Each structure stands twice: as structure tokens, then as C-alpha cells.
Amino acid sequence: MNLLPNWLSQRAKVTPNRVAVDLAAESITFLQLHKRVVKRAFQLASYGIKKGHTVAIYMKNRIEYIELIHALAYIGAKALLLNTRLKQQEIQYQCSDAKANFLVVDESYEETILLSGTELIQLQDLIYRHEKEIVLQSQYDLNDTYTIMYTSGTTGNPKGVMQSYGNHWWSATGSSLNLGLQTNDCWLVAVPLFHISGFSILMRNVIYGMRIVLHSKFEAIQANAAIETKGVTIMSVVTSMLTQMLKELGGRKYPESFRCMLAGGGPVPRVLLDDCIEKGIPVYQTYGMTETSSQFVTLAPEDSIQKLGSAGKPLMPCQLKIVNANGEEVMNGIEGEIAVKGPNVTSGYLNKPEETDKAIKNGWFYTGDIGKLDEDGFLYVLDRRSDLIISGGENIYPAEIESTLLKHPLIAEAGVTGLPHKQWGQVPAAFLVVTSPIKKEELQAYCQSMLANYKVPKYYFIVDDLPRTASNKIIRRKLPQRIEQGRQL
Amino acid sequence: MNLLPNWLSQRAKVTPNRVAVDLAAESITFLQLHKRVVKRAFQLASYGIKKGHTVAIYMKNRIEYIELIHALAYIGAKALLLNTRLKQQEIQYQCSDAKANFLVVDESYEETILLSGTELIQLQDLIYRHEKEIVLQSQYDLNDTYTIMYTSGTTGNPKGVMQSYGNHWWSATGSSLNLGLQTNDCWLVAVPLFHISGFSILMRNVIYGMRIVLHSKFEAIQANAAIETKGVTIMSVVTSMLTQMLKELGGRKYPESFRCMLAGGGPVPRVLLDDCIEKGIPVYQTYGMTETSSQFVTLAPEDSIQKLGSAGKPLMPCQLKIVNANGEEVMNGIEGEIAVKGPNVTSGYLNKPEETDKAIKNGWFYTGDIGKLDEDGFLYVLDRRSDLIISGGENIYPAEIESTLLKHPLIAEAGVTGLPHKQWGQVPAAFLVVTSPIKKEELQAYCQSMLANYKVPKYYFIVDDLPRTASNKIIRRKLPQRIEQGRQL
């Protein structure tokens, strides 16, 4: 029961002439996509990439990204998806931790230092590469790992989340059982493909046989144009994207065929919801994470006002419970840790059995997020795990920034938390105890050399000490209280 | 990855207020259905029915059938679904072969002899039975057997096909990826629930959260009324049902919201298709069997004329190949045995490891049916192997002759089988239901114009009706019994 035909090759057989991907300049059918992917697979093979290898990808949204993803499945290799905002040190860490054999990059890759143990392939070289014919994998074992995406937990270094073919299948079908699936459906991809939010659309693309429109990056004006003129019916967004789109939309309305804004990254604020209702835009709010291979809980538009702030109810294959500190399930109305279970949940963290055992017990994944269920079973997420900061749809983990700051010779203590921001929802702010005076420019330059830009703190406060628990752990939620007594750089 | 929450209990949580079942007199929501099912589970438990038991059901289509099916899942018991046309001896055989612990019957059960080893429960007794509270199974293991349906193969006694929770899940989701899934979808059940065609709709009901309309039996006038007034969007039919419905429909048309006639049990004749096209009725033809837990291959309406007589292409999770006598896959265009593979295919026959090993090799189920793929990958089912007529060394497939005969304007129904012949071993004989008198010479000239000589029937019998199964398939081996009552041309 765990073997499925390769989804792209099945689509090339079953619905060969349907449009798979719409780009600015061309439309590619499933059969055409299959043929391009086979060529890419043979080109990749000529570098020595083979079954069982791990291949990292550092590329912006582009058709070659899609081709590579499917080509790796045909080869039987795993894909390590790198955030294109990562800096050299972060790339090096992830490639080395995942034992990536190759790293494919496009021109957005500006680093020049060679990675040890990982061979670099330039996309421009790959495109004109000769082909080496190999036997293609015609089916998947659903338990096999397909993709690896890194995410940080409560402490320290990012961990590689293993996502299997089955995780992606179950996520896609679970979503379709919730949102429905129409013949004319078309999903706009304006979120990064290296995130599960974007990648999961590629999976729905081949599993549903559904057209997608691919944008290289999000631009409100282009996104609206795609909805208004390209037959887009569904789009994945985060709050900041939705805000920009509504502003650009002004007095116009979307066509009636547009049926779903799938909004992730935290609850949509009331004013924005009201604006959407006025314009007749159905917003489905979601809760999910890299470990659940996309959405796990969704809130239907009809419940969005009555259940304001809620993330909704689990998808069909998904179970959810709230547990107390002893791991016991609590009643509706009581706060606790959110634990989830389902075939779309990761089997664990790559090469980290201890971290895996800590997170997954008896098939339940403990998210670290705090939440409660109301009397009708609707989930409210009260606090993201490890004080997660969500900034313009990017997850930022304070622990990672803190550990970077602590490496600076003049910093004795560092605490990071999110502060509200009009455009991005939140931005990271650093609270520092220093051994000597230090300038903001110096700190920023230091952080920019070590961290992706979105992780670089926007504010720095010099304080006498940090709020801590009895066991000396930083209480990050209390950091904002130090703003007044601190000195902002 | 093999554990899912019980689908009904999940629906009662996620979409409690959606209508699950529409009956003539009432509408039942998923939450109400769940509550009724829990009561039934407790009532069944009071008879001593428990996890691991097998419970046979001999009942016509009715709400209690649906309740029992889900109640057995809550208990963790298997359901043996009996055809209500079976006679005492056949019931006894199936109950005994499946080691059924209990048999639940309604008033349509007229047999009085007690079964040995199987305890009889009258539905009327069950309904007023006291309850015994037990722990309900809150989740499924997809590998566990849920239902058992008997089917005859090419030879010998009927065999119990084991259908797991996973088989049903994959069948339902595979179907939705093909047909789509709309918020307003509603499936009319006018085929027997004891057949996979009817039972699979119950699974889609809870997996999709989709309303169904349940009819106790098929009546063209009621079926049309349900489509015209009850918001039915999809219906499962066989050819003879469709014929009757079109006749009853006369000059009327279905509402635009009606979007799918799912037609099983063999190709739909051209005249009928033409009629459907004229009336704007989309017909999806299918090929499937008990062993594949419903449809495996479907033909979309847009291909039905160009690919007349084809069963279409496999569902997304399904693989298909044509093999020769040596078990080797043959090229498109070549006839051979149809072999299928997929997570909706049975793991085998109950307590019959030898029969299972004969039918399933390397994950491929050998259907015993003969077919071919055309150059575009469309499947043509040529015949059931058991009905093969061999005449003078030539292979003749009755279905091919029947579909030719059905194209004749005066022929309403046609069945073909082999009759013994001194010279050729067998010759094809046709059994016909006609709309107006017709001459033998005319028929022969017609057939000769369409078929190779050896395929032209040597005998023609005009009959009142054809022997059919409960699911309306022609029983070709019983055709010779009609010789006496028929009129030979």
C-alpha cells in the first residue's frame, strides 16, 4: 500500500495535455514538463548524481526549480531546500549537516567560498550539460524521504526536517478534502518554493493535475493581475502579502471564480478580514509548520468572524490534542502544548535521533506551541514555540540570533524577541548586556555577515540584565518590559 | 503513517452540522449520524460483538445499514456484506467461509434455517436492544480489513475479497482527484450497498464530508426526481439504469449542477452516449471490480466519443499494465491480461493464500480480464477471461459482439455467449431484447458488415430480458437457459 506511481509521470500519462505551469512567457503541459524533467534528470546524472544522494538547491522561484525537484524524484535523490536569504555560514552548516553531495545554485548565489564535501553546480552549466541516460524511478515508496527543510527549535542550531513522499501526498489530499478540487482550479505561487508553503503547491500541482501560475517573487500588482486575468482560483499568502494586495486592489474586485486565499503565518487581523469580506474574498486561515508538511488546521471563511483569532479545525487525516506539562490531554478551554498526529507529520529530524525522540512520542509530534481548543473544538494558537518570531512569512528563531550575538567579543548576554511592525507583522529586537560600549553600525555589520537579512535585529537595546527564570533561562516574552529602562542604540 | 482518525468521528468534530444523509423523510447531520452509530455500537456490543469479530449483514439499502457499517468500525469488527439475492445455501457458504460470528438481517431475509456457528440478529430486535457501553476505536490502522465481499473468479466457489480501511480511503481520494470535489456535491445511492459500487459511496460520504441521498432501490422516476429536486450532483449507474432514466426523463433536462453519471459494468453504447450528450449529461465510464475497491480506470466525458468503448485511464494512485501469457508487459495495441497495482487493491482473498498467490504477484493483481491499451494509453476491456469463446482456434470476446449489436437501432439489450458446435468447438450466439421485430437476414448482414466472419453470431434468440446480477451485469453463462423461452430467428 506504500507504492505509488511517480506523480509527474502519471500526470504525463493520464492528463498529458493539461497545462501544468503558467509562466510569464509560456505555458507548459504535464507531458512537456515530464519531458523537460527527464532531460534534467539525465543532465544531473552526468555529474554523478544518483539514487540515495542528497542535492541542495539554492535558487529563486523559476521553472528550473520545478524541473529539478521532479528530476531528483526520477533519480531517487533527496532535495535539500535552502532559503535563498541564507548566508555562507548558514548554507555551509545545512549542507554539511545534511551531508549534501551536491549544491545547485542559480545566479542569486553570490558566495564564492567552496563548501567541503559538497560539489557546486551552476544552473547555467547544468542547462547546457550533456545527458547521461539512467533508469528512472517509476514509483515512490511513500516512506522514503523526498525533501529536507531546516527549521530551528527551542535551542541552538537548525534541524533538518525530513519530509517523505507520503507526507506530501497526505498533505495534498488532506487539503483537497477541505478546500475541494475544481476542474478550473489554478494556484498562484508567489511564496518561496524553498518553504513548505510554496513547495506544497508543487506537490498539489502534480497530485491534483492542477495548473499553477509561478511568480519569481511576490509583487502585489502582479499577484492581483494573475487573479484578475489568468484564472487563478487559489493563492497562498501571509498577512503582509494580503495587506499589500488589498491596498493595490483599491476599489476593484476579484472575479467570482477566485475562491480561496490560504493564509498562513498567524491569525489574520480583524480589520484585514473585514476588508476581505467587503471585497468578497474568502480567506482560509491555517496553522501548520515544516514538520506537518504544510497546513494541519484550517479555519473556513464562514467561521472567521465568529471564531476570530482561531486557526480552525484539523484536516481530515489529522489528529490534534492539547496536553499539560505531564503529557496528559486536557479538556477544551484549558491551555497547553499543541500535539499533532497524522500521515503528513514528519518522521523526524535528519541524523538527530535524540531531538526526534524528544519531539515525537507515540506517534504524536509535540509542536512546542501553546494553544487551546474552545467548546466547539476550534484551535486557538496562543504562543508559538520557542518564542518564534514571524516576520513577513519567514520564521525567525530567537535562539539562533542570540547564539550568533553571543559570539561577539563585547556581548555578555543576549535576548531576542519580536516587536510589532506595521509591514512585516513582527521584527526581531535584541536586548544586550555588553562588556564595553558598542555601536549600532558595528552590531549590524556583524549580524549581516552571519545571518540572513530578515534575521538581523532591527532594534538593539543595551540593558543591565535580562529577565530570567529561577533556572536562569531567559524569559523572552518579558524582554519588551526592558525597553524603557534600556538604552536604544 | 498508517493511522487515521475514525472518519465518522472526525466528521462529527470537523463538520458536525453538515447533512450527511438525506432520506425520504429526514436529513441526518454528521453529528447526528455519529450519535446514532455510537448507540448502535453499544447495542451490538450487548450481543457480545467485539473487536476482531466478523459480522455479516443481509439488508436492503436503508439508514440502519449505514449505521451498522460505521458501528462495526467503532467496535473494530469486520463487516461481511451479503448480496440480498443470495439463497440459503449461498449465505451459508459465505458466512461459514468467512467465519462470521453474527448475521444481522432485516425483514427481507426470508430464510428460516439456522446457520451453524453464526448467530442471527433480527434488525427489529437490534433497534430496541439495550446498550452496553464499550470503548470505541477512535482510529483506524489502514492495513486492517474493514469489509469482506464475495466474488466469483474464473473458476470455482466465490472468494471473500478483503478490503482494508486503506483500500477504501485510497479509492475515495483517488476518485476525488479525478472527479474533483465541490462544496455542493451530493451523491445519489441507488445501487446496492452490499456491492462495492454502493459501499464506496458510503466511504466517500464520510471521507469527503459529502451529503448522500439514499434510495432503498433503483426506480428511474425517483432517481430523476432526486437529481431534479434534491441537489444531487453525482450518481453511480450501470447502463440499464441510465437507459431507463433517459427514457423517463423524456424531453426534460437535468439542472446544470448535475455533473457526473459514474457508469460502471461495461462500456456505454453509442446510442445511449449520444442521447446523454444531447441532454447535456456528463458520463464518466469506469472499470473496476470488488478487488480494486471500486473504480480503477475512468473515461472522462470529453473522450467518450473519440474513445468509444474505452474504459479510460487509471486513477492517480493506480498503475496498470497488459501482460502476455508469460507475464511480460506488452506494447500498446497488443491484447493481453489486465494487471493492476495500487493502494486501493485488495491484499487478497480471505483464508485463501493459494488463490491470493495466484492472483497477486509482486504487488500486481492479475484481473483475469482481457484488454489492451491504445496508442494514447486508453484501456479497452475486451472481455472477462471466463466468457472467452474459442471458435476454431480464434478467440472471440462476447463484449465486442454485444457492443456491435447494441449499436443497431432496434436492439435494446444484447448478450452473447458460446454454444457448442460440432465443427468449430464453439460458436457465438446472440440473445436480444428488441424494440421492434427484426429479421435474421438483416441482423446477419449488419454483423457481417461490422465483424470478422467468425465473430458473427450463428444463432439469434429474441428474449424478454437477459439474466443479470444484482449490479445489472449480464450473466453470460446463464444465457443458454433462455433458449427455450426465447424465439429463434
pLDDT at A396: 85
Same-domain pairing of A109 and A194: yes
**Which residue among B4, B208, B313 sits closest to A13, beta carbon to beta carbon?**
B313
Q: State which of B344, B373, B402 marks the end of a domain.
A: B373
Residue B405: which domain range?
A: 389-488
Beta strands in A106-210 (DSSP E): 119-122, 139-141, 145-151, 159-164, 186-189
A330 and A400 assigned to the same domain? no
> Could you tell me if A300 lies within 8 Å of chain B, comparing CB atoms?
no
B209 touches chain A (CB under 8 A): yes
Query: ∠ CA(B413), CA(B308), CA(B233), 5° rounding?
Result: 80
Which residues of chain B lie closer than 8 angstroms to A2, CB-CB?
Answer: 1, 343
Q: Which positions 53-112 of B are in contact with A (Cβ < 8 Å)?
A: none
ipTM given for this complex: 0.85
Cβ contact, residue pair B1, A313, below 8 Å? no
Q: How far is A243 from chain B (nearest CA, A)?
A: 28
In a domain, B480, yes or no: yes
pLDDT category at B384 given cuts 50, 70, 90 is: low
Residue of B nearest to A315 (CA): B14
Residues B320 and B228 in one domain: yes
What's the pLDDT score for residue B4? 96
Q: Per the domain annotation, does A381 fall within a domain?
A: no
Average pLDDT over residues B9-37: 96
Residue A474, Cβ density class (10 Å: 0-12 exposed, 13-18 middle, ≥19 buried): buried
Q: Domain check: are A280 and A411 in the same one?
A: no
Question: B34 contacts in A (CB within 8 Å)?
Answer: none
- For residues B360 and B407, state if they share a domain: no
Confidence band of B268 (pLDDT split at 50, 70, 90):
confident
Q: Of A341, A373, A405, which residue is a domain's last?
A: A373
| Residue A258 contacts B, CB cutoff 8 Å | no
pLDDT tens track for A264-286: 877 788 888 999 999 999 999 99
Examine the domain organization and report whether A10 and A92 are in the same domain: yes
> Which among B373, B406, B437 is the end of a domain?
B373
Sheet of B211-214: strands edge to edge? B27-29, B19-22, B211-214, B186-189, B234-238, B260-264, B283-289, B294-299, B313-314
Whether B207 and chain A come into contact, CB under 8 Å, resolves to yes
Residues A123 and A256 in one domain: yes
Q: Are residues B365 and B474 in the same domain?
A: no
Question: Does the structure show a pLDDT above 50 at B304?
Answer: yes
CATH code for the domain of A322: 3.40.50.12780
In a shared domain, residues B354 and B466:
no
CATH value at residue A393: 3.30.300.30
A382 assigned to some structural domain:
no
Q: Does A17 touch chain B (CB under 8 A)?
A: no
| B124 Cβ contact partners less than 8 Å away, ≥ 6 residues apart | B106, B107
Provide the pLDDT confidence category of residue B154 given band limits of 50, 70 and 90: very low
B403 and B298 fall within a common domain: no
Supply the mean pLDDT for chain A: 92
Same domain, B415 and B322: no
User: B50 in a domain, yes or no?
Assistant: yes
- Among candidates A1, A167, A173 on the partner chain, residue whose Cβ is nearest the Cβ of B173: A173
Q: The C-alpha cell of B56 is what?
A: 455479516
pLDDT digits (tens, 9 = 90+) for A237-250: 988 899 999 999 99
CA distances from B18 to A168, A180, B65, B208 (A): 28, 15, 20, 11
**A106 and A206 housed in the same domain:** yes
Of B1, B7, B14, the CB nearest to A343: B1
The answer to whether position A51 is within a domain reads yes
Across the range A158-163, mean pLDDT stands at: 95
Q: Say how many domains are in chain B.
A: 2
Residue B134: inside a domain: yes
Is residue B170's pLDDT more than 80?
yes
State what percent of residues in chain A have pLDDT above 70.
98
> Choosing among A15, A173, A293, A341, which should be mutated to test the B contact, i.e. which has the most B CBs within 10 A?
A173
Question: What is the 8-class DSSP label of residue B463?
Answer: -
Domain contains B79: yes
Out of A244-248, B277-281, B304-308, B376-380, pick the least confident: B304-308
A180 with B177: Cβ contact below 8 A: no
For residues B336 and B342, what is the distance between their CA atoms, to the nearest angstrom? 19
Å between A181 CA and nearest CA of chain B = 5
Whether A384 maps to a domain, the answer reads no
Amino acid in position A43? Q
pLDDT digits (tens, 9 = 90+) for A135-147: 999 999 999 999 9
Read off the pLDDT of each residue in A169-183 and give the average, rounded to a whole number: 96
